[in-house]
Structure 1
Amino acid sequence: MFYHAKELQFNARVSKPDPKFASLLLEQFGGVNGELKAAMQYFTQAFAARQPYPDKYDMLMDIATEEFSHLEIVGATIQMLMNGVNGELKDISEQSEIMQMVTGKAGKEGLIHDAMTNPLFLGVSGGSPSVTNSQGVPWSGYYVDANGELTVDLRSDIAAESRAKITYEYLMQFTDDPDVKETLKFLMTREVAHHQMFEAALATLEPNFPPGVVQGDPRYTNLYFNMSQGEDARGPWNEGVSPLLGEPWQYIDDPRQVVRETNGLRDQQPQDTAMSKDEAEKKSKEISSMRSKEVKNAVPKGSNQWSKYD
């Protein structure tokens, strides 16, 4: 069950109205990297983790709930930045505050342009937060990544926190309001904290690479194909050993020739790989059995109950 505390998690404030930045901030309300996306992603992922990994379920639900509180902070900030525009839109007089904010023909045309750029924000919602991004595109469930496999989901979450952080970094460049900057900095920093939480949770799932249960085919795990012409770049991604499997990279300088010589890579043989093909198949079966038992053993036979009410 959820409880709503009326106090915001962070003391959000604004120094002055700024309708233009309010419209921009919608990106973190209903955008692809926003707080609603994060809340729904972690909330959805938690269901598959509930019985086999109750500790991860607890973490996902805690962070999802905090993301809902961040959504409230963003929405409150947007509302304060609009400075009562919703009420002003109901005032049809030429002396209304919103008309005074946009004095002159250029100002009025600018306001109309903003309304046309995101018609839902001013023309429909009256300046209150709408579940859209900054361009008025409605929020979509397609933003949510949930695969029912924690080693995949947690990596998606790390990426989500990274994208949200950089979005806040960019947004801070578009406001000179010190109070708003403080709010954005808090939200950005919580993305850093969540990133670390997901990293730590992923590390407790061993083995966790490659994601899922099936191992890669050793014929191809350490091949690097030089697929572009011109000056070649070398680095730890194509020379030395691979960072997670510890296999020496095999640099394929002429992919076309190798593909032809190996019957479209079907006849390619493993070279300096951590496992043979048989060993990889054996490990896949072992991990598959282990993960399957973790889930099956956590689910009682017959009647099942989600919660206990002691």
Structure 2
Amino acid sequence: MYLHVQRLINDIVADEPDPAAANALQEGLGGQFGEMRTMMQYLFQSINFRGPTGKPYRDLLQGIGTEEISHVELIGTTIARLLDGSPRYNGKKTDPLDTPGAGGKTPLDLALGEGNIHHYLVAAQGALPVDAAGNPWSGSYVYNSGNLVLDLLYNLMLESTGRLQKCRIYEMTDNKTARSTISYLIVRDQAHENAYARALETLGVDWGKLLPIPKTNAEKFPEVKKLVDLGLQSKQYTFDLEGASEAGRIFQGMSPSNDGTELDATEQAPPGVPSTIARERYEEFSPGLDPELLALIQATADLEMATAAEPLFAPTSRG
């Protein structure tokens, strides 16, 4: 059972719209090594887990899989914000449909110069479950062999490859909105590398000096360095309301990344940041609510609030 807190797991820094950066970020969302893949793979592995004595490993998979849900939310929201910026139509209501907006600007003409035109055709300037080339996400990406060692090895490869790709995306853009999310995911991918590496160490694997993959030299990415300095690469959250997770039995000791930090699994969840709803986009007819529909929504909301305020049991009188 999962509960949702209406907060983003990390802050998204405001900057100018950048459809090209949004297109690149789609790989980190719906690509073969993106956040949708990690979310589904770890959750399916935890759902299908066998062997009660291996509960700490199941709890580790479940905790990381739950965090990946928030990563899907974070990167999807970031893509939407990077796309949210086509010029509004400022012509007159009586203008013909083909009349450009103020200054001769056609509202959605910037879409024609971008690699993923689907963002504007079918998604109303929002994220899609596709990769950077527009290929739809596939459930065939999910690896769940049932063998714990194989699954952990595959998960470590998945986190390392995802981190490698995000480092490349970071170097494709200097947009602050994109980099704030990319940097956070780079660091959290390293935390998950550490988690799976530590789990494999408990099963006899010696990593030596192999991790992290790739060795990014954190000081090269200033946004990443700030998070590394906070030790975020060595934390793993349980997302467990009842204190039943045993993942901390695995995620402990010195970090496999050999950075001098200790692994810490004592926190339930990060505090997060406020989550806001994006403004309307009239040129995309999104959400497409006219005054009559808005009035109906308000009336429905008022009715539901009034119903919620009523007592469950009406008082009775005794004669």
TM-score range, shorter chain: 0.5 to 0.7
CA contact (8 A) 1:85 1:98 kept: no
How does 1:149-228 map onto structure 2 within 5 Å?
Answer: 149-205=147-203
What's the offset of the Cα at 1:49?
2.4
Aligned in 2, Cα 1:96/1:28: closer, same or farther, shift over 3 Å?
farther
Segments of structure 2 that go 5 or more residues without pairing to the other structure are 207-319
Task: Look up the SS of the partner of 2:124 in the other structure.
Answer: coil
When the two structures are superposed, what TM-score results if normalisation uses the length of structure 1?
0.58
| Structure 2 residue aligned with 1:135 | 133
Cα displacement string for residues 147-201 of structure 1 (whole angstroms, at most 9, x for unaligned residues): 0001000000000000110111010112112343132111101001100100111
Query: Matches of 2:67 and 2:86 in 1, distance apart?
Result: 29
**Letter in structure 2 aligned against 1:33:** F
**Letter in structure 1 aligned against 2:41:** Q
| Structure 1 residue aligned with 2:64 | 63
CA contact (8 A) 2:13 2:176 kept: no
Query: Matches of 1:98 and 1:141 in 2, distance apart?
Result: 44
**Letter in structure 2 aligned against 1:185:** S
| Structure 1 residue aligned with 2:293 | none
How does 1:1-310 map onto structure 2 within 5 Å?
Answer: 1-49=1-49, 51-52=51-52, 53-85=54-86, 94-95=100-101, 99=105, 108=109, 111-114=111-114, 117-205=115-203
**Letter in structure 2 aligned against 1:95:** G
Query: Matches of 1:42 and 1:96 in 2, distance apart?
Result: 50
Query: Matches of 2:14 and 2:44 in 1, distance apart?
Result: 33
Query: Matches of 1:168 and 1:48 in 2, distance apart?
Result: 29
Segments of structure 1 that go 5 or more residues without pairing to the other structure are 103-107, 210-310
CA contact (8 A) 1:14 1:177 kept: no
Query: Matches of 2:64 and 2:34 in 1, distance apart?
Result: 14
CA contact (8 A) 2:17 2:84 kept: yes
Query: Matches of 2:46 and 2:40 in 1, distance apart?
Result: 10
When the two structures are superposed, what TM-score results if normalisation uses the length of structure 2?
0.57
**Letter in structure 2 aligned against 1:76:** T
Aligned in 2, Cα 1:23/1:51: closer, same or farther, shift over 3 Å?
same
| Structure 2 residue aligned with 1:286 | none
**Letter in structure 2 aligned against 1:65:** T
Cα displacement string for residues 246-292 of structure 1 (whole angstroms, at most 9, x for unaligned residues): xxxxxxxxxxxxxxxxxxxxxxxxxxxxxxxxxxxxxxxxxxxxxxx
Aligned in 2, Cα 1:4/1:141: closer, same or farther, shift over 3 Å?
same
**Letter in structure 1 aligned against 2:74:** I
Query: Matches of 1:8 and 1:98 in 2, distance apart?
Result: 38
**Letter in structure 2 aligned against 1:183:** T
Work out the percentage of aligned pairs sharing the same amino acid.
30
Q: Which has the larger radius of gyration?
A: 1
Stretches of 4+ aligned residues off by more than 6 angstroms: none
What's the offset of the Cα at 1:87?
7.7
| Structure 2 residue aligned with 1:295 | none
What's the offset of the Cα at 1:14?
2.9
What's the offset of the Cα at 1:120?
2.6
Aligned in 2, Cα 1:60/1:87: closer, same or farther, shift over 3 Å?
farther
Task: Look up the SS of the partner of 1:49 in the other structure.
Answer: coil
What's the offset of the Cα at 1:39?
0.5
Aligned in 2, Cα 1:161/1:86: closer, same or farther, shift over 3 Å?
farther
Query: Matches of 1:97 and 1:9 in 2, distance apart?
Result: 40
What's the offset of the Cα at 1:74?
0.4
**Letter in structure 2 aligned against 1:58:** D
Query: Matches of 1:96 and 1:121 in 2, distance apart?
Result: 24
Query: Matches of 1:191 and 1:130 in 2, distance apart?
Result: 22
Aligned in 2, Cα 1:152/1:185: closer, same or farther, shift over 3 Å?
same
Task: Look up the SS of the partner of 2:156 in the other structure.
Answer: helix
Quote the RMSD (CA, aligned, Å). Answer: 2.7
Cα displacement string for residues 190-233 of structure 1 (whole angstroms, at most 9, x for unaligned residues): 00110010011122235x79xxxxxxxxxxxxxxxxxxxxxxxx
Task: Look up the SS of the partner of 1:111 in the other structure.
Answer: helix
Aligned in 2, Cα 1:138/1:96: closer, same or farther, shift over 3 Å?
farther
Aligned in 2, Cα 1:126/1:98: closer, same or farther, shift over 3 Å?
farther
Query: Matches of 1:203 and 1:98 in 2, distance apart?
Result: 63
With a CA cutoff of 8 Å and minimum separation of 6, indicate the structure with the bigger relative contact order: 2
Query: Matches of 1:27 and 1:47 in 2, distance apart?
Result: 26
Residues paired across the two proteins, number: 198
